[in-house]
Amino acid sequence: MKIVYFDVESYEREFLDKNNDGKYTYFLDTNPLNDLAPIKSEYADADIISVFTTSRVNRKVLEQFKNLKLIALRSVGFNHIDLDYCKENNIAVENTPGYGNITVAEFALALLLDVCRKVTVSYSEYKNARVSPSNLIGTELCGKTVGIVGLGAIGAAFAKIANGLGMKILAYDKFEKEELKQSLGVVYTDFDTLLRKSDFISIHAPLTKENYHMFNEESFNKMKESAIIINTGRGELIDTQALFNALVNKKIAGAGLDVLENEQTMTDFDYMIGLNRLDKSILEQTIINSRLFQLDNVIITPHTAYNSKEAIQRILNTTMNNINEFVSGKLQNNVVR
């Protein structure tokens, strides 16, 4: 059984060596998968590949693997995988659910606190010996209303933290959980009401065809001018051009973003040296992303909300368990329907 792990970080190597050595033929590759660079010839007959969200595994990429049976994701999300191709070619795709519920929720709070209390701005001004107290006036969280979009495991963990800080909680989700209403005082509502009444909005929804760009110009126009939006879900849930316009025109007050649309062009070396190979829309998106970094009321981090010691260990444990069970003939955490 041949396995190729892509997107491998230095802190993952010891675990992967220990758990693969003597059991499988395996390769550890630091590079992500994308359709800008062909795979190495020794990878073509891999039975299993494992990737993180930094890989973009589309049809063109998958067609290079002639013997592929399983994609073992080191993530919960799977919108970066061509599931239609996998279904057509009987390739299982297994994710790692539940690894980052607390970790991501805590990071979303960190972003919210940073934007509200201007932590990064304060640090920058102090470091450069140009402190202006009027620029550093913040906003308290206690007593404010936070709207949570997506009340799955991560959204529920965020709701618990928000409740502990004395915040009122509105929620938008397809499925209402009675226990959250009872224990945390969560009030489920429609999307428009959440937009209009929330002082802060934290996005924890998965990306689907239905909710692509759910935050658009119309959405931002319905929000309070004092509102702050936090996104640790997926970048494509927000129309970035509409967000940029809303921030510049003071339709909303600020944003904390751990994810961006087409974020791979900001960090993946293959994209950075091959901009001439990108289509017009992705080039435009890259420019808009870059412009967001120039705004004082925006904090942007490099898709790192998952990145805690505890969560990484859970990711690796679940990934390895998924692979071992698959090899023994058992399918678990499969997302191909």
Separation between Cα atoms, residue 325 and residue 4, nearest integer Å: 17
In this model, does residue 35 exceed pLDDT 90?
no
Please, how many CA atoms are within 13 Å of residue 114, restricted to the half-sphere of its CB?
22
Task: Please write the tens of the pLDDT for every residue from 53-105.
Answer: 989 999 999 999 999 999 999 999 898 999 999 999 999 999 999 999 999 99
Contact 87, 336 (CB under 8 A): yes
Question: What is the average pLDDT across 242-254?
Answer: 97
Question: What is the average pLDDT across 114-123?
Answer: 96
Could you tell me the two tokens for 226? 């004092």
Q: What is the largest CA-CA distance in the chain?
A: 63
Structural domain contains residue 271 = yes
Q: Which is more confidently placed, 279 or 285?
A: 285
Return the percentage of the chain with pLDDT > 90, whole number: 88
Residue 303 annotated to the active site: yes
Structural domain contains residue 337 = no
In this model, does residue 325 exceed pLDDT 70?
yes
In this model, does residue 268 exceed pLDDT 70?
no
The pLDDT value given to residue 274: 58
User: 67 lies in which domain range?
Assistant: 2-99+309-327
> Do 141 and 179 share a structural domain?
yes
Average pLDDT of the chain?
Answer: 94
CB atoms within 10 A of CB 77: 16
> Do 147 and 278 share a structural domain?
yes
Question: What is the average pLDDT across 175-185?
Answer: 96
pLDDT range class, residue 237, cuts 50, 70, 90: very high
Return the percentage of the chain with pLDDT > 70, whole number: 96
> Do 216 and 69 share a structural domain?
no
In this model, does residue 276 exceed pLDDT 70?
no
> Do 172 and 85 share a structural domain?
no
Could you tell me the two tokens for 37? 């660079």
Structural domain contains residue 174 = yes
> Do 237 and 90 share a structural domain?
no
Catalytic residue among 56, 74, 80, 303: 303
Question: What is the average pLDDT across 227-253?
Answer: 97
Structural domain contains residue 160 = yes
The pLDDT value given to residue 266: 72
Task: Please write the tens of the pLDDT for every residue from 131-140.
Answer: 999 999 999 9
Structural domain contains residue 283 = yes
Structural domain contains residue 114 = yes
> Do 238 and 150 share a structural domain?
yes
> Do 202 and 109 share a structural domain?
yes
Could you tell me the two tokens for 278? 């990108």
Catalytic residue among 56, 94, 263, 314: 263
In this model, does residue 284 exceed pLDDT 90?
no
Residue 234 annotated to the active site: yes
Catalytic residue among 56, 80, 234, 314: 234
pTM score: 0.89
> Do 114 and 197 share a structural domain?
yes
The CATH number of whichever domain residue 72 belongs to comes to 3.40.50.720
- Looking at the structure of the chain, the number of domains it has is 2
pLDDT range class, residue 240, cuts 50, 70, 90: very high
Sheet holding 48-51, edge to edge: 25-28, 2-5, 48-51, 70-73, 92-94
Structural domain contains residue 334 = no
In this model, does residue 270 exceed pLDDT 90?
no
Contact 319, 50 (CB under 8 A): yes
> Do 247 and 118 share a structural domain?
yes
The pLDDT value given to residue 36: 81
Task: Please write the tens of the pLDDT for every residue from 185-211.
Answer: 999 999 999 999 999 999 999 999 999
> Do 162 and 88 share a structural domain?
no
Query: Assign residue 168 a region: left if phi > 0, alpha if psi is -120 to 50, beta otherwise?
Result: beta
> Do 248 and 129 share a structural domain?
yes
The pLDDT value given to residue 164: 97
> Do 244 and 107 share a structural domain?
yes
Burial 187-216 (b: 16+ CB within 10 A, else e): bbbeeeebbebbbbbbbbbebeeebeebbe
Structural domain contains residue 335 = no
In this model, does residue 273 exceed pLDDT 60?
no
